[in-house]
Amino acid sequence: MNYLQLALEESFFSIGISRPNPAVGAVVVKDGIVVGRGRTQRPGNAHAEVMALRDAGELARGAAIYVTLEPCCHYGRTPPCTKAIIDAGISEVYFAHADPNPVVRGKSRQILEDAGIVVYEGEDACVRASANAASVNLDELSGECLDGDECRVLGFCGHDSDTVLEGRSVFREVERYFEAYDYFVCNKRTFVEIKSAVSEDGFMGCIAANGRHLPLRITGQGANCWNHELRAMSDAVLVGAGTLLTDNPRLDVRYAQGNNPVKVIWAGHHKFTKSEIALLHVFALHQIGTEGVLLQPLVFSCVPQPAFENPAVTAPTGDYGHGVELVLLPHESFADNWNFMIENLSARGMHRLMVEPGAALAREIFNAPREPEKPLWNRIDLWRSTDPSVDASLERLVKFGKAKAGLKFPGLPDGVVAKESAMIGPDVLTEYYSG
């Protein structure tokens, strides 16, 4: 267990609630027991630290607070969290990630330390959060291998090494979590993360004998759970009209803890029919999010969509039938329209957009001209299956006339740089950034 991991889990339920403020989680711990939990509420309401302190009550005095992001130290819509921490009598503060906001960064620690509070931050805070949960005193370790075994990390051995490794793992997870927030603060722009999956032979799906696209199950359950966790980290998840009609996805977080993201549909030039709308889960299932908020799908379209039944709406954006908000795209080129969409989501305070494209949409995104100041994407998560049965099933579909051919992955954009890879079951995940 790691107390900052518990705080991170709390923060997932703030996504979609706190924006444009960061989704933050906090826990208060006293004598090894979690006595308070909290997460950031709607703008103008309490932040995670205040919620956790309220939950702890008088037990907060002399306790430690673990928070995913550096506590705020300025007056905005709410008083500073540093004041609440000091007034509550907290003795130690552990925060995992420094706030990129210059109004906060570095100032909070000084304020808390001037009040006599011990403060730990970053990787050090995450490692100590693991050590505290495991009752390991890192400050008393000599750093020498007393049993003759080879030291693995920071000179610690045995379960002490495991404690450090766990803390570092939590730190990396928190950094990954706040990657989109950091980008949003620095660029005032939504971070776009693309997830694709391809078979061993490079296929994303297949084409039926009648020309329609057919889904192809590529990844195993481990990869699917990972994808749902990414959805839970995202403000919104986008699919194109082709994927919507082929897979009929729900775009929820069935395999992860957290809030469902806003569903975004890139309609392009496809004009939805009433029969299609009636069958598609994203329009038929109006899911209710945290605090009873309707998760209204967003449809970005190059053409009018009369099947959504509101002929009175003539503005470029408006609420349509089926609980849908339609946004008409004003430009001719794909890149200009995609940027228009990103700017629209940015204005809504969305930090991370997850894109799950089919072959056609992936090709348009990857082949569009790139502008350094207006990137069409920020990160690509590419899953490659090593399971030969995926391509074998495609071959059988073609052999028996149920499919004409496979849909090839269009290939990665030029200049991408692979950052790291991991394997879950038969699937290999590689993360790419623009070079």
Measure the CA dihedral 87/91/96/102, to 10°: 40
In this structure, the number of other CB atoms found within 10 A of the CB of residue 86 comes to 17
Q: How far apart are CA 210 and CA 226, in angstroms?
A: 33
Beta bridge pairs of residue 196: 382
Phi-psi region of 319 (alpha: psi -120 to 50; beta: other; left: phi over 0): beta
In this structure, the number of other CB atoms found within 10 A of the CB of residue 408 comes to 15
Asked if residue 20 has a cis previous peptide bond (ω within 30° of 0), the answer is yes
Task: Please give the span between the terminal C-alpha atoms of the chain, in angstroms, as a whole number.
Answer: 37
Q: How far apart are CA 4 and CA 345, in angstroms?
A: 30
The single residue of 9, 10, 49, 70 carrying the catalytic annotation is 49
Instruction: Please give the order of strands across the beta sheet that includes 203-208.
Output: 213-214, 203-208, 403-408
**Is 332 among the catalytic positions?**
no
For the annotated catalytic residues, the residue numbers are 49
